[in-house]
């Protein structure tokens, strides 16, 4: 902010500015808000940030967030483990779970392909997806087909990612579907309301 301000203030503004969706103005406003807050409130916030990753890890199967080696969804025997919904972010899992309609499992890519930002397949959990599918093919329930639902966001990066995965998956004998359009283009899955998401999942189309 200004060089006349204490370093601690400038430091916090800088940290906030690095967060997604927070511009310099918002960063300044948040910092000033905290400056007016009581010490106890600040301690609660810094504790919450500091302890965020305590006891958390990524699920060894789907890369969702987990408190154990498997997330609650992968560890649930009542879910359909042959139905895998591929999403970009953990928040997409949260959004789809809120519909209470989806009974399959997930695979979180942790992003989407974006040549402009230098994000290629190696930066995403794509290899992990293929390893997972390979394992299922070998040790999965015989005669049970696996369906992979590509539920990356509508919009350029999500579509690019879906096309890329589709091409690779097609070579294997998995059923591949893409969630129906109707989601606002450029709108992320986690902004869609539950009915729209449910419809998009129900109306998924098979790639041929």
Give residues in contact with Zn ion (CB under 5 A).
Answer: 59, 61-62, 64, 71, 74
CB of 168 to Zn ion, least distance (A): 21
* C-beta separation of 178 from 166 below 8 A: yes
E strand residue ranges, the chain? 57-58, 65-66, 80-87, 104-108, 147-150, 175-178, 205-206
CB of 91 to Zn ion, least distance (A): 15
CB of 200 to Zn ion, least distance (A): 22
Q: CA angle, 56 as apex, 71 and 111 as ends, to 5°?
A: 70
CB of 56 to Zn ion, least distance (A): 13
CB of 93 to Zn ion, least distance (A): 9
Q: Which is nearer to Zn ion, 31 or 64 (CB)?
A: 64
Q: Which is nearer to Zn ion, 71 or 165 (CB)?
A: 71
Q: Which is nearer to Zn ion, 9 or 70 (CB)?
A: 70
* C-beta separation of 31 from 9 below 8 A: yes
Q: 102: closest CA among 202, 174, 183, 196? A: 202
Q: Which is nearer to Zn ion, 73 or 197 (CB)?
A: 73
**How far apart, in whole angstroms, are the C-alpha atoms of residue 87 and residue 102?**
13
> What separation, in Å, do the N-terminal and C-terminal C-alpha atoms of the chain show?
55
* C-beta separation of 108 from 125 below 8 A: yes
Q: Which is nearer to Zn ion, 64 or 177 (CB)?
A: 64
């Amino acid at each position: 902010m200004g060089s006349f301000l204490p370093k601690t203030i400038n430091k916090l503004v800088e940290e906030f500015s690095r967060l997604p969706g927070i511009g310099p103005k918002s960063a300044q406003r948040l910092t000033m808000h905290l400056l007016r807050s009581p010490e106890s409130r600040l301690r609660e916030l810094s504790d919450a940030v500091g302890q965020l990753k305590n006891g958390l890890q990524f699920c060894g199967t789907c890369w969702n967030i987990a408190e154990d080696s498997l997330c609650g969804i992968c560890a649930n025997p009542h879910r359909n483990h042959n139905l895998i919904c591929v999403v970009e972010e953990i928040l997409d899992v949260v959004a789809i779970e809120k519909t209470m309609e989806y009974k399959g499992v997930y695979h979180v890519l942790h992003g989407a392909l974006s040549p402009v930002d230098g994000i290629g397949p190696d930066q995403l959990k794509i290899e992990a997806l293929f390893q997972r599918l390979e394992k299922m093919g070998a040790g999965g329930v015989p005669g049970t087909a696996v369906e992979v639902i590509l539920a990356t966001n509508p919009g350029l990066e999500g579509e690019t990612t879906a096309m890329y995965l589709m091409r690779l998956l097609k070579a294997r004998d998995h059923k591949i579907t893409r969630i129906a359009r109707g989601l606002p283009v450029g709108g992320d899955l986690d902004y869609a309301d539950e009915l729209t998401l449910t419809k998009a999942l129900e109306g998924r189309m098979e790639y041929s």
